[in-house]
Amino acid sequence: MSAQSSAMARQPASEVLVIGAGVAGLATALAAAPRAVRVLDAGAPGGDGASIWAQGGIAAAVGTGDAPAQHAADTLAAGQWRNDPVAVRHLTERAPDVIDWLERLGVRFDRDGDGALLLGREAAHGRMRIVHARGDATGAEVMRALTRAAVRCAHIAVAPQCRAFALARADDGRVVGAWAWNGHAVELWPARAVVLATGGYAALYRHTTNPAGNDGGGIALALAAGAAVADLEFVQFHPTALALPEASGQLPLLTEALRGAGAVLIDGSGQRFMPAEHPLAELAPRDVVARAVAARTLAGHAAFLDARAAVGAAFPEHFPTVFAACMRAGIDPRTQPVPITPAAHYCMGGVRVDADARSSLDGLYAVGEAACTGVHGANRLASNSLLEGLVFGRALGQHLAAALPAAAAGAALPCPRTYAPLDAATRAALADVLWTYAGLVRDEAGLAHAATRIAAWRATREPGASAADLLDLAAALIAAMRARRECVGAHWRRDVRAAA
């Protein structure tokens, strides 16, 4: 039985419908003024999605001697030069302006005694470049300011607890709104432009740093409507999530800024292992560090983040979010090494979009982690994710303010789906399959096994039920991983020789 109500309400039409209320969605909505914007938030206002959990900060070339071109060079190197260089230039050149904009909106970035922005260091950045707030609470601080600004803007109306599960199409194929479940009934939200800002799909994995809602639902509904997707196989695993015994789902993140501040990785015998793996040791690219950690944990040796010497007593002040998470788990990071595991963290792929965030479907746009602009290539550089959502979201909002697509000739066609979320047992089994066979290191045999399991689940689904869309996304992810027979960036196959 699906949860669909037979009565479907129709909301008044808006000019722009933004699906998702994280940084990318809110940046789009704010910049689209004076357009009438509706924002559908699957959770409570400002409290859902991945943005609020972001710890590290926002990369921007604002330091003395830094330049967007240097930020761009690091972004391209981390992405293994598979990035779209135009998108990288767009991102890095606008980063300093985004920091100014956020401060004008009331974001309080950390500053030194002279009032200069304090800059942190993260892996694969050639210099200190990470602007942060309240130590390791940058995402929460940025979301606080954006949510407050959105609430104050007359052109924006946020609808909480509305989960979009299908795109509304006109008979000419144009996307003319979305169908959403509000907890009681299905509603049609008509609009001239529909923006997906729904985040990625890292929460489909058993171990993830993402909240459960980051399950690729937005990408899945675009895929179901026939939108082109790209780079799905590039899934980034963060090397240092807090390893909690028997835990699955979202694990607390231990920000890379800790290693930027000098914390080291050690094995069960207290030995550092990264210097033997890479010349940059703990500040090697994230995929390199994650594989080194996984190699130890898979071999049955624990791995730990040791911040005792580098941070020690300053932990509560400099890294309050991490400190609280460790203390909740019964570990005092001032005096104890913290057990770690890699966890699915970020998806470089998503709905394929052009430089104006347009998808392959008329009327549909995508920004932030839901989108694939090509800016990250095969691996995202640390602290480029909030930045991407802000830069591309803002640019899309400005674009829609200036040029909204023409209204469709016809009305929306009937809803093509019934709302039926994936049942918890299948979702847990899928999380295990992805973690085991489509994780940090993959091979053809494992991916083929995953494809068979997913196909079996798909065969049992009611045709047209929205739960099938997530399985279709998982199938597309596996197909993309099978198709890329090379080791590059975050895509690592044990059955293919890595380029020297």
CB of 312 to ligand SIN, least distance (A): 19
Choice between 42 and 130, CB closer to ligand SIN? 130
CB of 159 to ligand SIN, least distance (A): 29
**Contact indicator for 46, 144 with CB cutoff of 8 Å:** yes
3-state SS string for the chain? CCCCCCCEEECCCEEEEEECCCHHHHHHHHHCCCCCEEEECCCCCCCCCCHHHCCCCEECCCCCCCCHHHHHHHHHHHCCCCCCHHHHHHHHHHHHHHHHHHHHCCCCCCECCCCCECEECCCCCCCCCEECCCCCCHHHHHHHHHHHHHHHCCCEEEECCCEEEEEEEECCCCEEEEEEECCCCEEEEEEEEEEECCCCCHHHCCEECCCCCCCCHHHHHHHHCCCCEECCCCEEEEEEEECCCCCCEECCECCCHHHHCCCEEEECCCCECHHHCCCCHHHCCHHHHHHHHHHHHHCCCCEEEECCCCCHHHHHHHCHHHHHHHHHCCCCCCCCCEEEEEEEEEECCEEECCCCCECCCCCEEECHHHEECCCCCCCCCCCCHHHHHHHHHHHHHHHHHHCCCCCCCCCECCCCCECCCCCHHHHHHHHHHHHHHCCCCECHHHHHHHHHHHHHHHHCCCCCECHHHHHHHHHHHHHHHHHCCCCECCECECCCCCCC
Q: Which stretch binds ligand SIN (CB under 6 A): 9-17, 220-228, 254-262, 291-299?
A: 254-262
Residues 373-432 that bind ligand SIN (CB under 6 A): 382-383, 385
CB of 377 to ligand SIN, least distance (A): 15
Burial class (CB in 10 A: 0-12, 13-18, 19+), 100: exposed
Q: Which two tokens stand for residue 258?
A: 């800790």
Distances (CA, A) of 175 to 216, 338, 371: 19, 48, 17
| Chain residue at closest Cβ approach to ligand SIN | 56
Choice between 137 and 166, CB closer to ligand SIN? 137
Could you give the CA distance from residue 26 to residue 158 in angstroms, rounded to a whole number?
10
Q: Locate tokens 């009032």: which residue?
A: 115
Using CB under 6 A, pick the residue from 51, 147, 208, 255 that binds ligand SIN.
Answer: 255
Residues 308-367 that bind ligand SIN (CB under 6 A): 346
Choice between 234 and 419, CB closer to ligand SIN? 234
CB of 395 to ligand SIN, least distance (A): 20
Amino acid type, 236: Q
Choice between 273 and 346, CB closer to ligand SIN? 346
Could you give the CA distance from residue 7 to residue 105 in angstroms, rounded to a whole number?
41
CB of 77 to ligand SIN, least distance (A): 15
User: What is the size of the binding site for ligand SIN (CB under 6 A)?
Assistant: 9
Choice between 181 and 315, CB closer to ligand SIN? 315
Q: Which stretch binds ligand SIN (CB under 6 A): 249-257, 363-371, 400-408, 453-461?
A: 249-257
Residues 164-183 that bind ligand SIN (CB under 6 A): none
Could you give the CA distance from residue 51 to residue 41 in angstroms, rounded to a whole number?
13
CB of 253 to ligand SIN, least distance (A): 6
Choice between 308 and 380, CB closer to ligand SIN? 380
CB of 122 to ligand SIN, least distance (A): 6
Name the residues annotated as catalytic: 286
Q: Which stretch binds ligand SIN (CB under 6 A): 154-162, 253-261, 330-338, 435-443?
A: 253-261
CB of 410 to ligand SIN, least distance (A): 43
CB of 287 to ligand SIN, least distance (A): 12
Choice between 194 and 257, CB closer to ligand SIN? 257
Residues 279-298 that bind ligand SIN (CB under 6 A): none
For the four alpha carbons of 120, 126, 127 and 132, in that order, the dihedral sign comes to: negative
Q: Which stretch binds ligand SIN (CB under 6 A): 43-51, 192-200, 252-260, 264-272?
A: 252-260
Instruction: Note whether 98 binds ligand SIN by CB under 6 A.
Output: no
CB of 415 to ligand SIN, least distance (A): 36
Residues 48-67 that bind ligand SIN (CB under 6 A): 55-56
Choice between 200 and 405, CB closer to ligand SIN? 200
Choice between 98 and 194, CB closer to ligand SIN? 98
Q: Locate tokens 């085991």: which residue?
A: 436
Give bridge partners of residue 193 from the DSSP assignment.
Answer: 16
Using CB under 6 A, pick the residue from 15, 41, 84, 256 that binds ligand SIN.
Answer: 256
Choice between 340 and 473, CB closer to ligand SIN? 340
Q: Which stretch binds ligand SIN (CB under 6 A): 191-199, 255-263, 325-333, 367-375?
A: 255-263
Binding site for ligand SIN (CB under 6 A): 55-56, 255-257, 346, 382-383, 385
